Structure 1
């Protein structure tokens, strides 16, 4: 883990030749402030343009339809991750930190770290945390109601709960946890181009990167937590001692920000779809379904890149070898070709199959953690809160990869 960034961070690739054949060219900037704040019109244009388009501003290919995004995510041999899942090509420019052994590696290098983390974060392994997290969630909801019920759904619920339970589960100490969200936000910004979002974020990120690096060390992780279990796997020879801190870092990179944004998306959905929240109250077992539907509907992780390992076909169009492809996960999750009433938030829907957690070999290893956190928080909410209401205009926080809320002014109306 380095403590400073470099000038190579997520730079825009050099101009590439125009695509051959009939691939349509779009002159749109998916990383512009306007699109990041409201990506839906651009995503609709991309889907209607065809299964594949060429984004002339960045010299990359793009896909936004569900069938093509799903096929690319599951074809790790053709659409590789080891060249980076951002706009930068690691084979031509150095990454700003050692690449992720999970997100930015392909088999065989990906296999052992993935197997270790998948075992530690499996649904069965997490069962021991369920009751404790539900009690923590009840305390968080009770504290929110004790303040009168009016709050910021982001800062007072969506951030508070994960920052309470997840660091403890990893085995982090009590100091410095405020670094987790800025670090995740920076890391996801770095998957995009070197724009104002990235350059402004990196001015003050050095101490945060240094803190994250320290938390990955064996001696700084409490016994029994996810981090200590990763180091124990290195003692068994399942991974090397050099790999262990990088696997811990993967947990800290994506373990908070993405969950926070998924929880906030669900709170916004409850506030704007009172009938669906009423359905949750009537059927609390729908808490996980509500979270997955919010992840499909809002797609906290909007985009990821892959690189064509060879010349590859996408629904009759050719992507040349070594070219970057930008996959719009958020667009795929709103594709009416796959989802009936795709723009609706509906707890009657089966949202399984959404690509909000990725798909295939590189599917999010921590998705069971996020679902367990959501189940706890929304079960506790349904027990004590009759309605979730908007009491102000929500505001977005632009990020090159994430779809996030800056503020979500809501009122929790208690039962009884």
Structure 2
């Protein structure tokens, strides 16, 4: 009987001759906190790199990363978007029925989620987002200084998104930590993943209870999911799983995007003034923040069968990490990627992924970020640092842990 040697929950592979070998830990906490040098070296080594300590392939150049990430036929999500191969080892939780599936199952669940999160539905939330943002910014202007993470970036999405879903139970710490758990679990067996598994054991029962039909209003996005189960589009047991997907992907990434936007504008006051002078730049500013800081920095795929990347053979079962943060800083794509420029209009950035697995909630995330930036631009002349920003290492998210700020009224 053939035996398979495993590493980090997936098959150990032998890379094809000619693929550069790089002995680095891409999940080291120093790299996760400050990844730009890692991104640059990964791109410089070539379109595909072998990392022996994890026995994975890593991609950082835009063209190759985008191609592989979009190719759901050769590089599947159903075997996990982290390092564990769900075809070999039991997942750490029941897999997401939208994120960790392939067509045709993905097509069915994605259709339901896309309807719930359609531009028309999001448009109906914009006024609520705007009013909440105005109120929050006004309250923060009364303070000498505040933490941009806990008092704004976390507070705003937790104030509006559970309300949009129709949740009756809301706990800021649990909702933010749940997203962090999901993304940390995508990494290797390091401190961050062990924390995620321990914390998830504490909060998962609360999350699933909060997604139950009797804990939702009958006029929110969550009710739309249960309605789809009533009509037979979904199985009844799938409905709470899809509502859970709102929470795992709809809170933490938006928290990160808002926090990163505050950081960008505190570091680039000239761009903030540019935004205040021309509010039509709010939408492209959101895209540039997402490109420049890549809230989701790394996502995994698995070779579903023997295939190739950039002309190199890739064997079935190979785990590939698509380093979206590196792709979003590729000078071959962007020219001057290290410059934060809100009029760039970075069409094609990978902050929301690409292909059929592009973030289904990106319309909501954009609307929330735009609401905050519009409110701030009307009321705030400058966003100034009030201390050192501290980045929070996470195996898949590039997020701030602390961001002391001072708002100077307009």
Same fold (TM over 0.5): yes
Aligned to 1:397: 392
Contact persistence 1:176–1:211 (CA under 8 A)? no
d(CA) in 1 for partners of 2:67, 2:237: 33
d(CA) in 1 for partners of 2:291, 2:10: 34
TM-score by length of 1: 0.95
Q: Do structure 1's residue 30 and structure 2's residue 18 form an aligned pair? A: no
Contact persistence 2:65–2:324 (CA under 8 A)? yes
Contact persistence 2:209–2:215 (CA under 8 A)? yes
d(CA) in 2 for partners of 1:212, 1:85: 21
Instruction: Report the Cα offset of residue 136 of structure 1.
Output: 0.8
Q: Superposed, which structure 2 residues align to 1:10-409 within 5 Å?
A: 12-13=8-9, 16-148=12-144, 150-409=145-404
Unaligned runs of 5+ in 2: 1-5
Instruction: Report the Cα offset of residue 285 of structure 1.
Output: 2.2
Contact persistence 1:13–1:59 (CA under 8 A)? no
Q: What SS is found at the alignment partner of 2:334?
A: coil
What value does the CA root-mean-square deviation take over the aligned residues? 1.4
Deviations 1:311-350 (A, max 9, x none): 2222222211221111100000000010121111111201
Instruction: Report the Cα offset of residue 242 of structure 1.
Output: 1.7
Instruction: Report the Cα offset of residue 360 of structure 1.
Output: 0.6
d(CA) in 2 for partners of 1:67, 1:122: 29
d(CA) in 1 for partners of 2:226, 2:153: 29
Contact persistence 1:61–1:319 (CA under 8 A)? no
d(CA) in 1 for partners of 2:233, 2:187: 33
Deviations 1:7-58 (A, max 9, x none): xxx9713672431221111101001111111111111111000000111010
d(CA) in 1 for partners of 2:131, 2:227: 29
Contact persistence 1:13–1:58 (CA under 8 A)? no
Contact persistence 1:312–1:318 (CA under 8 A)? yes
Contact persistence 2:7–2:54 (CA under 8 A)? no
Contact persistence 1:171–1:226 (CA under 8 A)? yes
Instruction: Report the Cα offset of residue 175 of structure 1.
Output: 4.3
Contact persistence 2:11–2:317 (CA under 8 A)? no
- Which moves more between the two structures, 192-201 or 249-258? 192-201
Aligned length: 405
